[in-house]
């Protein structure tokens, strides 16, 4: 399916022009659906400052949350790539801050993920491993792994993943597993591995600092199968490109989680 061309079409919605896939099934897993606008008759006052709407004080809808605000509380126009808008769109103060933070992901982290990095890859419980380049596909829907062999993991079929880190504190070396649970609500805590659930805003995995992203553990369902399969990626200690890729993937987890939870 990754070889199917992703056609685009320009559509006009009440919120603005959007460039979306011709086939909705080919949407980016990071994308969000447009919200339903709060009906005008249900919002006689601004939902932020409580100003009453009248002939002079007009109501505006935030394109991200769909709530109703006055001009002062919904004056910013910010890019919103997660909803495929072509131009910046009107958003409330809270939503505009979130969208601005997400732009860092689209401006920087997406490029890191699509450029890819080299890892030592182990499939399932196999004792054999292979050096492979892992990258995000240009349509953001697949992880491509290329070495002596090639295979793909569709992000929509990933049930959970764990970013492995090595933290260095005085007198100790520890390994933490930061987990984004995309379907399952439970995971087990193994010996010498501390499991943190849904730490999507964690400050421990950052560029620089004393913690290095060292690997990733994926559980996913292959196309046509309901059985969970496991994939483990390990980065060499001196491979800064691979560590940066893992940091970017950690940030992508939050967007994936939000998209599925909407």
The predicted-structure confidence for 109-153, as pLDDT tens digits, reads as follows: 999 999 999 999 998 878 889 999 999 998 899 999 999 989 899
Same domain (yes/no): 21, 100: yes
Same domain (yes/no): 43, 168: no
Domain assignment of residue 190, yes or no: no
Q: What's the domain count of the chain?
A: 2
Question: Which domain does 57 fall in, by range?
Answer: 8-108
pLDDT at 14: 85
User: Is the entire prediction scored with pTM above 0.85?
Assistant: no
Same domain (yes/no): 84, 152: no
Three-class DSSP labels, the chain? CCCCCCCEEEEEECCEEEEEECCHHHCCCCCCCCCCCCCHHHCCECCCCCCECCCCCCCEECCCCCCEECCCCCCEEECCHHHCECCCEEECHHHHHHHHHHHHHHHHHHHHHHHCEEEEEEECCCCCEEEEEEEECCCCCEEEEECCCEEEEEHHHEEEEEEEEEEEECCEEEEEEEEEECCCCCCCCCCCCEEEECCCCCCCCCCCCCEEEEEEEEEEECCCCCCEEEEEEECCCCCHHHHHHHHHHHHHHHHHHHHHHC
CATH classification at residue 53: 3.30.40.10
Domain assignment of residue 78, yes or no: yes
> Over the chain, what is the mean pLDDT?
80
* Residues in the chain with pLDDT values less than 70: 1-6, 24-25, 167-210, 259-262
Same domain (yes/no): 42, 66: yes
pLDDT at 4: 46
Final residue in a domain of this structure, among 77, 108, 139: 108
């Amino acid at each position: 399916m990754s070889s199917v061309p992703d056609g685009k079409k320009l559509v006009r919605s009440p919120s603005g022009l959007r460039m979306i896939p011709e086939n909705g099934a080919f949407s980016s897993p990071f994308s969000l659906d447009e919200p339903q606008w709060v009906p005008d008759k249900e919002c006689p006052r601004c939902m932020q400052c409580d100003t009453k709407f009248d002939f002079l004080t007009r109501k505006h809808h935030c394109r991200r949350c769909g709530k109703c605000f006055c001009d002062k509380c919904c004056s910013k126009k910010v890019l919103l790539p997660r909803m495929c808008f072509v131009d910046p769109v009107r958003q409330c103060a809270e939503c505009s801050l979130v969208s601005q933070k997400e732009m860092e992901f689209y401006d920087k982290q997406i490029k890191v993920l699509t450029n890819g990095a080299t890892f030592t890859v182990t499939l399932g419980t196999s004792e054999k491993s292979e050096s492979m380049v892992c990258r995000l596909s240009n349509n953001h829907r697949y992880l491509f792994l290329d070495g002596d062999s090639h295979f793909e993991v569709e992000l929509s079929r990933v049930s959970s993943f764990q970013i492995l880190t090595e933290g260095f504190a005085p007198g100790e070396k520890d390994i933490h597993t930061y987990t984004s649970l995309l379907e399952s609500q439970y995971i087990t805590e193994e010996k010498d591995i501390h499991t943190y659930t849904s730490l999507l805003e964690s400050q421990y995995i950052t560029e620089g600092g004393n913690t290095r992203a060292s690997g990733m553990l994926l559980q996913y369902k292959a196309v046509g199968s309901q059985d969970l399969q496991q994939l483990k990626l390990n980065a060499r200690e001196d491979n800064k490109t691979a560590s940066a890729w893992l940091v970017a993937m950690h940030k992508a987890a939050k967007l994936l989680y939000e998209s599925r939870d909407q």
